[in-house]
Amino acid sequence: MADAPRTVLISGCSSGIGLELAVQLAHDHRQRYQVVATMRDLGKKGTLEEAAGDALGQTLTVAQLDVCSDESVAQCLSCIQGGEVDVLVNNAGVGLVGPLEGISLAAMQNVFDTNFFGAVRLVRAVLPGMKRRRKGHIVVVSSVMGLQGVVFNEAYAASKFALEGFFESLAVQLLQFHIFITLVEPGPVVTEFEGKLLEQFSTAEFPDTDPDTLRYFRDFYLPTSRELFHSLGQSPQDVAQVIVKVIGSTRPPLRRQTNARYTPLAALKAVDPSGSLYVRATHCLLFRWTRLLNLGLRCLACGCLRFRIWPR
């Protein structure tokens, strides 16, 4: 007798990784999953429903969920049969880019409300049921920015660092209940959201920012960021495939990076745990050796630059 399908609740499914993951799980040929694909604004559900095709209403349902609202979370869970979630995927998130002096504290708090506290709110809601059943899997879409800071992404990186520390700490306790946590750490992901974000901030005004910093942001960071996404960016489909494999694993890992081409950049902190090598090398590449950085990114993209970096 086949096992009953596992209920998978995914936040942030109006586009990008969340949408692709929901569709891939719903079309699982073994029908192992019953997907509840959620989003804050149901007015944006059309793309998901079209991509779901015949799975809509069968192995995939769409529901409203605002991860920043206790009431919305409770309402969403009440609509799930039995209220039981076997796999939770915390995917909802927002970005924030720009010079620190030109970004309001309210904007930074909004990033944390969604990226960090939104994930915590969902986990608090599903955890009692998982503990009672002594099984479950919590997948958190983090970022390589949760492992290393990136210039002009301070608030976003901080929200991902917070996720990493919180869920690594929680993972120790939850093993006693046979509940697994996996932090998925994509590198650059090419989505419509990312493109609009970079375009929006390239023309944004940043009051209280000195001219030098504004020039560094517009003339150095933005062009390099576009090259990084062009050279090393993954598609949402690629990232979703990695998450599907993680969810299907019998012993899920605590961490899973999705982009092997980004590994040389992420490895700098492993080579020098003090962090000095990463900070100094990134500074030089961005502000002094921009052409070398762009060449290196293109080589990583085409595979002609192959090497391994081992921690000391």
Residues at the binding site for substrate are 143
C-alpha dihedral (112, 165, 284, 231), degrees to nearest 10: -80
Angle of the 290-302 helix axis to the 222-232 helix axis, nearest 10: 10
- At 185, the amino acid letter reads E
How distant is the alpha carbon of residue 284 from its chain centre?
27
Q: How many CA atoms lie less than 13 Å away from 230 in the CB half-sphere? A: 13
Known binding-site positions: 12-40, 66, 143, 160
C-alpha–C-alpha distance, residues 20 and 237, integer Å: 6
Query: Shortest CA distance to 259 belongs to which of 234, 235, 237?
Result: 234
Known binding-site positions for NADP(+): 12-40, 66, 160
C-alpha–C-alpha distance, residues 265 and 277, integer Å: 11
- At 233, the amino acid letter reads G
182: which strand partners?
Answer: 139
Q: Are 234 and 190 in contact (CB under 8 A)?
A: yes
56: which strand partners?
Answer: 60
205's tokens: 């005004």
Name the DSSP letter for residue 134.
T
Indicate if 216 belongs to the active site: no
In order, the DSSP letters of 44-60 are G-HHHHHHHGGGBTTTE
Residue written as token pair 């996404």 = 229
C-alpha–C-alpha distance, residues 75 and 267, integer Å: 43
Give catalytic residues, as residue numbers. Answer: 156
